Chains A and B, each alone.
Chain A
Amino acid sequence: MPRLGVLWCPHWPVVVADAAADEPVAVVHANRVVAHSLAAVADGVALGQRRRDAQSRCPHVRIEPHDPARDARAFEQVVRAVGAIVPRVEVTEPGTLTFVARGPARYFGGEASMAAKVTATAAEAMGRSLAAVGSLGMGVADGRFAAGIAARRAAAAGAPAVVSAGGAATAEFLRGLPVSLLTEVAGVPADFVHLLHRLGLHQLGALAALPAADVTARFGPLGAFAHRIAAGGDDRLPGTHDPPSGLHAQRVFEPPVQHTDALVFVARQLAEELVGALAADGRVCTRLQVVAETEHGERTERHWHRSSGLSVAAMVERVRWQLDAWVQLDDLTAGVALLRLDPVEVRGDDGVQLGLWGGRTQADDWAVRAVARLVALAGEQQVLVPAVHGGRQPHDSHRWVAAATADLVDPAERLADRGTPWPGSLPAPSPAVVHAPARAIEVLDAAGAAVAVSGRGTVSAAPVTVQMGGSAEAVQSWAGPWPVDERWWDPARARRTARFQLLTRSGRLLLVGVERGRWWLTAEYR
């Protein structure tokens, strides 16, 4: 098993947000805290907390949105600094990098001194913001899992951690550690770890002590994997090997390409080609090398790793990160002439089956692709998907949100019915045409005077005529007023309106509202 060094920066997004040493900062994704500074922890901010809870615990916390692309671009500085003294650095994710420890350890005179040297180099590249999250962790151990844990312990201890070589020493190191590290470091699904807890297996040693055959029989490939790494075994899945020689996807550009977007577009085609070729043999790429070269020989080369396998989207994302950082940090003198994706490590695909019922279908894949194309053609704000919002008015209950930022494949979050009743909302059927913003109209009584609604909700006279955009229609029947007094506690957003349904003699059913003496057409039942 290879001897690996892992350099891990805790809460990397906070470092990217340029936090001062004593500044409380929280990085938020989908309204949940995903990273925070030490000063925020002191005030009670925690991972997974809701944004509002974090703000109530620590009112002066600076909230930053989560942007993986920005994190990856900023991490390139660190990768370059470390890459100057250590060969073949591989980025696992922004904030974590991995390299083979054997060569550098010999060069720097031992693993401990090598770890100290790498930590110092990386800390220098990160600059002052590192103080906001504590210190860097550098771990050296057999295999990715043990080295990753060693790095996390090193960050907490403030000094590099080196686990002695050999399976027995690794197993001894892991024995007393909690099983939750399987999720945190190795990416094992959280519900599997919960199941282990319910079975009374709280430590990695307890899992490792079980017979491997029984664990496999009970939990399948996932259990076998967890058992193997908990026992200090190889964390590469069985069947991991070098790909067949000559399997790569590359494109030579003639003339050279100047725009990153165009390159990313080509990268998608290359990734599809590569994933398709590997999938035909039932394999998936776990480690990918991305190479790009300009016409003048400037070159970028990075290794990317993902233990669960790199899908097309994951490959494209990594190419984009790498190209963005390259373009930003180097003054390129020419357009890009070559882009190549090289699978460095592949393994047998343990099979994520497309759902027969309810799962992802081919139509879903096509739709996701079509949405990306539409966004490229029309712009982000022009391609929308529905989201449940909640409210009494037709334009409040559901909203359109930008498809580019929404989760298309798993829309449960945006379309979850909050289950909250909205007293005063109109019963079904709902209007099929909703005018937002509402259109100004006139509603008149038999005498030709505007119909008014008093503060107590009584109507001055029955509506007889409705004037919309120059044309007048006679009202056949009507109902209302249904008053609604919303957000009266907030003067800026307070709305007090009375709603009516008007059925005109031509058969049109309108939903209208009167607000401060002005009538508005809010929706139509067409």
Chain B
Amino acid sequence: MAARVTNPTQLADLAGRGLVTRAGSATAAQARTLPLLPVFAPLVPQCAVQRGSVVGCVGAAAVTLALAVAAGPSQQGAWVAVAGMPSLGLAAAAEAGVVLERLVAVTEPVDADGAVQPFDDEVWGDLLAACIDGFDVVLLGPGTQQVRPATARRLVARLQARGAMAVTVGAPVFGADLRFECAAATWVGLGDGHGVAQARRAQLALTGRRVPQERRLDCWLPAVDGQLRACEPTVDGMVTPLRRTG
């Protein structure tokens, strides 16, 4: 057993000899986190999420928000598994920045009449454990709400051991270390019988276990040019609805 270090100079000495690495070193921190898209920089310190975290997305733009959270690691080479979300729009996923080459979905079987035959707690437990073992990001949809709280706790423990990240939409059973809430979203571009939806302005709020105070951000999910970015401080009707001319 190593001798207990009581004197701070002793510790510095050990560090000097390369026996102790400083926990705060940048590379070590990078290894323990997964990067997010730059749009979240004002909300999340270092713009990265600790591995092993559960990120909950709720509110009006929850699905797009979850895709945007998953997009950061995905663009850095991580694989994303989607579970219990059979109706995910793939075009929207690609637009949010998720790399489709590294996307895999697990869905529940549908019988001949079109009715979904949900997996039970045990099957989801095995499937999600396999997802957590194999993929860096697991997107948990409403279908996974079937699992019992005990199974969910076991899966979260596994997530922390493996160092993956879970993003949940409509699956509060997994809890949340970080919780993105979209309190209000307004669409721009749609008129009364004319125009087309072009951009969405969302008011995000971040709460969580390690977030002492709620943080707020106004952002475009997405902006008119398709980008996800924070709103400029002074914004007034940036987009004029198209007028019918003919």
Contact = CB atoms under 8 A, between A and B. Distances in A.
Contacts of B77: 361, 363
Interface stretch (A10-18, A163-171, A197-205, A376-384): A376-384
A415 interface: yes
A374 B106 contact: yes
A346 B91 CA distance: 47
Nearest to A394: B89
B193 A370 contact: no
A415 B193 contact: no
10 contacts: A364-B79, A370-B104, A374-B130, A377-B130, A426-B196, A477-B190, A477-B192, A509-B187, A525-B200, A526-B62
B215 interface: no
Given A374-B130, A430-B91, A434-B89, A526 B61 contact: yes
B95 A479 contact: no
Q: By CB atoms of chain A within 10 A, which of B62, B67, B92, B196 has the most?
A: B92
A419 interface: no
B89 A384 contact: no
B100 A415 contact: yes
Contacts of B108: 382
A364 B135 CA distance: 9
Interface stretch (A36-44, A86-94, A242-250, A395-403): A395-403
B103 A386 contact: yes
A399 B91 CA distance: 10
Contacts of A177: none
Q: By CB atoms of chain B within 10 A, which of A379, A394, A399, A509 has the most?
A: A509
A370 B134 contact: yes
B195 A479 contact: yes
A526 B193 contact: no
Given A370-B79, A370-B104, A477-B190, 4 more contacts: A374-B130, A400-B107, A428-B226, A525-B187
B15 interface: no
Contact of B107 (A382, A427, A503): A382
A363 B88 contact: no
A316 interface: no
Contacts of B104: 367, 370-371, 374, 383-385, 403
Given A431-B92, A433-B87, A370 B109 contact: no
B130 A434 contact: no
B209 to A, nearest CB: 26
B42 interface: no
Contacts of B198: 427, 429
B109 A386 contact: no
Contacts of B89: 394, 430-434, 523
Contacts of A433: 63, 87-89
Contacts of B192: 462, 477-478
Contacts of B196: 426-427, 479, 501
Contact of B91 (A373, A381, A397, A400): A397
Closest 5 interchain pairs by CB?
Answer: A370-B134, A398-B90, A430-B91, A432-B63, A432-B92
B87 A378 contact: no
A197 B77 CA distance: 38
Contacts of B114: 437
Interface in A375-427: 377-379, 381-386, 394, 397-400, 403, 411, 415, 426-427
A383 B130 CA distance: 12
A327 interface: no
Contacts of A493: none
A411 to B, nearest CB: 5
A277 B184 CA distance: 58
A366 interface: yes
B87 A507 contact: no
Interface in B84-112: 87-96, 100-109
A370 B190 CA distance: 43
Contacts of B194: 479
B182 to A, nearest CB: 10
Interface in B48-63: 60-63
Contacts of B193: 459, 462, 478-480
Contacts of A218: none
A474 B229 CA distance: 30
A384 B95 CA distance: 19
A487 interface: no
A516 interface: no
A432 B136 contact: no
A373 B100 contact: no
A518 interface: no
A436 B127 contact: no
A495 interface: no
B48 to A, nearest CB: 17
Given A434-B88, A477-B191, A374 B226 contact: no
Contacts of A194: none
Contacts of B120: none
A443 to B, nearest CB: 13
A437 B116 CA distance: 12
A374 B127 contact: yes
B131 interface: yes
A88 B10 CA distance: 68
Contacts of A399: 90
B145 interface: no
Contacts of B127: 374, 377-378
Contacts of B63: 432-433, 526
Contacts of A373: 130, 133-134
B185 interface: yes
A73 to B, nearest CB: 29
Contacts of A117: none
